A and B are shown apart, each in its own frame.
Chain A
Amino acid sequence: MLRPMFRLVPDNTRIRFMKRKFAGIYVSAFLSTISAIMFFYPGLHLGIDFSGGIIMELRTPAAADFGAIRGALSQAGIATQGVQRFGDDAQVAIRMPAQPTEAATQQTVTKVRQALEKEIPGIRLMRTDAVGATVSGELFHDGMLALGISLLMILTYIWFRFEWQFAVGAVATLVLDLTKAVGFLALTRLEFDLVMVAAILTVLGFSTNDKVVVYDRVRENLRKYKTMPLRELIELSINETLNRTIGTSGTVFLAALPLALFGGASIAHFAWMMLFGIVVGTSSSIFIAATILLVLGENRLRRDTSAPPKDGAPATP
């Protein structure tokens, strides 16, 4: 009980992460490019926070009769974007597009309620979300602003705390992470809404943490091993922090997992994004962020790389 039962990664690993330093970047860039394409086609599935519109969740007394529901709605002259099963058999989600005016949105909500209550006695409305066009525009704007400013503040913070190469490396990696998150959204058709922005921001914050830890070690080793070539020094730093990187990712992953499995429909998309982001963020901390640092800092962070290396490894210019 007192001693650790296992180690995540054996101590004193010497994995040569920088051996094929560009392989990671190529893979990452490839995935990000595909993600960028998917952003335009098929595009993101906007939640009503951002697109405006109405979502109503119903619970019917018996298993839902979709034909009856669709019939009742079309009879009332209501255009829907989808009537779907939601959760179990008796739960139905109806989505309707944004109406031209706020008043029309309100009327639609009332009309749907009346039409369904008449058609299916005992039906209960579990949830109604109606977002008008003005508000959805503002929410989208604010969400994007939160994302943009956060990225900028992270850049500024790392720039102040480290040399600029670190900041550029971190933010470039974050942008690669971000594009993959977008690709994940487009691929899975998870709803992109305010909660999703929160998930993405959390993932970015988490990913930054990871990078900061590796960079901290690089900076410390730069002072400690004055003569070690940068390539080797970065490899050493990654290896030294490997247990921590994987350990922390593991705990956050374990914390997010039950949310995805038991958290219910309104939070599950948030949790899946977290899980995806943790995997991407962790691998980018190991394979991408440090590589960018190596490329940017090759001749700058270490002035005397020509000095003979201590342990006889070939020095890289």
Chain B
Amino acid sequence: MMYFTRLKTAVILGVCLLGVILCIPNLMPAPANWLPWRYVHLGLDLRGGSYLLLEVDMRTVLKDKLESLMDGVRQSLRGTTSANAIFYSGLAARPDLNQVRFQLRDPARLPDALAALKPVIGTPAPGAPAEVEVTSTPEGAVTLTLSPTALRDRATAAIQQSIEIVRRRIDASGVVDPLIARQGDSRIVVQLPGIEDPNRIKELIGRTAKMTFRLVDTSVTNLDGQAPAGVDILPLEGPGNQRIAVRRRIDVDGGDLRDARAGTNPQTGEWVVNFSFNSVGARRFADITRANVGRPFAIVLDDKVISAPRINEPITGGSGQISGAFTAAAANDLAVLLRAGALPAPLTVVEERSVGPELGADAIRAGAISLIVGFLLVAAFMGIFYGLFGWIANLAMFINLFLMLAVLSLMEATMTLPGMAGILLTLGVAVDANILINERIREETHNGRAPLQALEAGFSRAFNTIFDSNATGLLSHVMLFYFGAGPVRGFAITTTVGIITTMFTNWLLTRLMIAKWYAWRRPRELPV
């Protein structure tokens, strides 16, 4: 127990030294790129910033999926000529059942219909379950059901796509060091350090930004009544509550955009957004404009018409301009949204936490003062009540502080105010093992054992107890980490790391120091 080989001593001291070295990156920026420079990040409650929890609207994802399934049904049953068209009625989506249903006019054509639907359903990969399950009755009622796997895949794709688009939008907005991550099945966490007022970002990520180019239907004159089939009556951006009728058919989609930049119109000096299509979009745009010279077309963003210019000549170059009384910021934001692409479904902010930098600085100061005062109080307590062994424990506690910081740095953990509280409490609990050992040594000395035997017995007998008490502490902190959220996780991490480093400093370092002291002084009685 009280004998350490040279190698063991070197390893223990080496770990301590390494711990101190690993803390350095927290104090200064990396001197060279090739160095692995890992440090503890400050949580938003300490550095100031905004935390947003976004929820992807999965109902919209499902609705869109069913909508496209219905489109598929329409297209495939229309047939190539009017002769082989299959007639049906009552085509409707049932989002609650993940189903699309319709009724064939002529039940006898059921086999034809099922054959025609083949491309819609698609062929599943070997061994994989079908994405869409088709059931039918002899009376000609056909039901298409999305399989749970397909739904899950769709949801996963939707959230991944959303994350990607949110990331692009935030990156373009100039926030430094944002963190964007998935949480659970339908949520996205966004952390924006240094952003005190997240309103602009919220607006930027709160918009679906689904951009479409459609023809204006000039035949519709009653803009307040019911829209005829295949036409949407949409509000027109700008002063007054103007409305405009546009065809539902989407001619070119925002997905075909290659680039969008804010700029000014050299003639009028007003802000515009210049865009260009990829080759598919350019070709379609050219076709549409060629066929509709002299008629207005609408640029629609999230069910609002931004502008509806007249087509003066065919636009074959694949690029164009959106003008609509923009301010510089609005033109920039629109360009960002168009470049980043449309969200697959709307996002809602379900949780927001913003901390101003001043408050963060206050929190750091409060945490640091508490840490220093707490450390001194505990150290004084140990010195007064346990003498030399108390001071040894204090030295170990000091090194423990470095070791904790070193492990947290390696993990690149996030430090929060509760995390700092966790460090302080760990220090308070860390000396517990020293107290246990000291009390044991003391007892053994009183029972008449010689110093060395008392030390041996003290350490070995206290071990079980130390282990038990740390294990129970570890259990509850792991639970806290697992179920906790936000700053509380910081607390769980620091305390968990603290328990582990404490085991090292108490069980090895303190014992080593006491053993060396004993070998040096060879005391006839122990100062306990």
Contact = CB atoms under 8 A, between A and B. Distances in A.
B503 to A, nearest CB: 14
B483 A195 contact: no
A264 to B, nearest CB: 4
Contacts of A57: 359
Contacts of B469: 208-209, 212-213
A103 B348 contact: yes
A134 B351 CA distance: 9
Nearest to B397: A251
Contacts of B527: 2-4
B425 A255 contact: yes
B356 A125 contact: yes
Contacts of B377: 254-255, 257-258
Contacts of B369: 258, 262
A103 B202 CA distance: 11
Interface in A194-236: 194-195, 197-198, 201-202, 204-206, 208-209, 212-213, 216-217, 220
Contacts of A129: 352-354
Interface string B452-490: 000000000100110011011101110110111111100
Contacts of B362: 264
B398 interface: no
B388 A3 contact: yes
A6 B383 CA distance: 10
Contacts of B477: 201-202, 205
The secondary-structure label for the interface of chain A is helix
B479 A195 contact: no
Contacts of B358: 59, 124, 126
Contact of A259 (B349, B370, B472): B370
A128 B354 contact: yes
B5 interface: no
A106 B427 contact: no
A198 B480 contact: yes
Contact of A149 (B53, B429, B436, B479): B479
A309 interface: no
A198 B428 contact: no
Contacts of B417: 263-264, 266-267
A4 B390 contact: yes
Interface string B430-443: 01100110010011
A254 B349 contact: no
Given A161-B468, A263-B366, A271-B421, A1 B476 contact: no
Contact of B429 (A8, A59, A102, A248): A248
B285 to A, nearest CB: 35
B106 interface: no
Contact of B197 (A4, A125, A244, A254): A125
A209 B487 CA distance: 25
A146 B482 contact: yes
A212 B425 CA distance: 19
A275 B363 CA distance: 20
A214 to B, nearest CB: 10
Interface stretch (A35-43, A67-75, A137-145, A292-300): A137-145
Nearest to B393: A251
Contact of A244 (B424, B436, B482): B436
B483 to A, nearest CB: 4
Contacts of B473: 205-206, 208-209
Interface of B: 45, 53, 55, 196-197, 199, 202, 348-356, 358-359, 362-363, 366-367, 369-371, 373-374, 377-378, 381-388, 390-391, 417-418, 421, 424-425, 427-429, 431-432, 435-436, 439, 442-443, 446, 461, 464-465, 468-469, 471-473, 475-477, 479-480, 482-488, 491-492, 495, 527-528
